[in-house]
Amino acid sequence: MPRSERSQRVEAIVLRHSDWGEADRLLVLYTLEKGKLRAIAKGIRRIHSRKAGHLEPFTRSTLQLAAGRDFWLVTQAETIAFYPSLTDDLLRTGYAAYIIELVDRFAVEESQNYALFALLADTLQRIAEEPDPYLAVRYGEIQMLEQFGFRPELFHCVQCNEVIKAQDQFFSAELGGVLCPECGLSVTACRPVSMDVLRYMRHLQRSSFLIAKKAIIPQPLRAEMETILQYYITYILERKLNTPEFLRQVKRNVAKKD
């Protein structure tokens, strides 16, 4: 943190927090002005703290930060947007937590990215408000991969560069995209992907959300698309994310009730 930068006003989304000391919290934020950063909210765990409600996960707030020794200090906080359904609806909670974890794992600290901030804010709002949050999640996920520099190649074989034909293909996380049937048989550790799933992934990759959300994706294809994207993201990060397992448990419970 530059010594000359003693105070900063930012628009931030709370990614996560942990207890710090007796009454404080360490916040991980994604900000419009500075990208991902860490800040201490002093006294926030006290019953009468005025900042507590403005600094919950998924909340979008305006913060006044002051430079501390190791972290920024939150001196003021005011909520811009808070979505009750992201905490009241367990499935939407899981989806929002997944998108938050995705940004947290990929984003570099104090590296500004206006487009990523806007995409994160829009995706959380869509998860909260859209009738079908699944499409909001998959759209945000595919668009975020592009923001992080890992846009999957879905139109040409990543091995031979031939245009992909209308038939089932393979997907290689290591090579970063789709393989034609011939190349797929010669590449280890790739996975089959149906042409229908590939079409939907292309649609989400190249469309605005207004157009993308018109897609009606059958349940089996939803599961296949989610599996392919998780396979790709796990390879990039070299570790599994925590939230997909939570989402699987939530979906199993919902299925039992139905």
Q: What pTM, to 2 d.p., does this model score?
A: 0.92
From 3.40.1110.10, 2.40.50.140, 3.40.605.10, 3.30.1020.10, which CATH number describes the 7-81 domain? 2.40.50.140
Confidence of residue 258 (pLDDT cuts 50, 70, 90): low
- CA–CA separation, 170 vs 197, rounded Å? 11
pLDDT at position 207 is 97
- CA–CA separation, 148 vs 145, rounded Å? 5
Residue 2 has pLDDT above 60, yes or no: no
Q: Where are the domains of the chain?
A: 7-81, 85-257
What pLDDT, in 10s, does the model give residues 37-79? 999 998 888 877 777 778 888 999 999 999 888 899 999 999 9
Amino acid letter, residue 33: E
Mean pLDDT lowest among 57-71, 174-188, 232-246? 57-71
What pLDDT, in 10s, does the model give residues 5-17? 688 999 999 999 9
Tokens, residue 154: 């879905």
Q: State the greatest distance between any 2 C-alpha atoms of the chain, in Å, as a whole number.
A: 65
pLDDT at position 1 is 47
7-81 and 85-257 in the same fold: no
What pLDDT, in 10s, does the model give residues 72-112? 999 999 999 999 999 999 999 999 999 999 999 999 998 89
Residue 212 has pLDDT above 80, yes or no: yes
CB 215 within 8 A of CB 142: no
What pLDDT, in 10s, does the model give residues 120-169? 999 999 999 999 999 999 999 999 999 999 999 999 999 999 999 999 99
CB atoms within 10 A of CB 64: 15
Which CATH number does 85-257 carry?
1.20.1440.120
Instruction: Report CA 228 to chain centroid distance, whole Å.
Output: 16
Q: Indicate the Cα dihedral angle 17, 138, 105, 2, nearest 10°.
A: -80
Mean model confidence pLDDT for the chain: 92
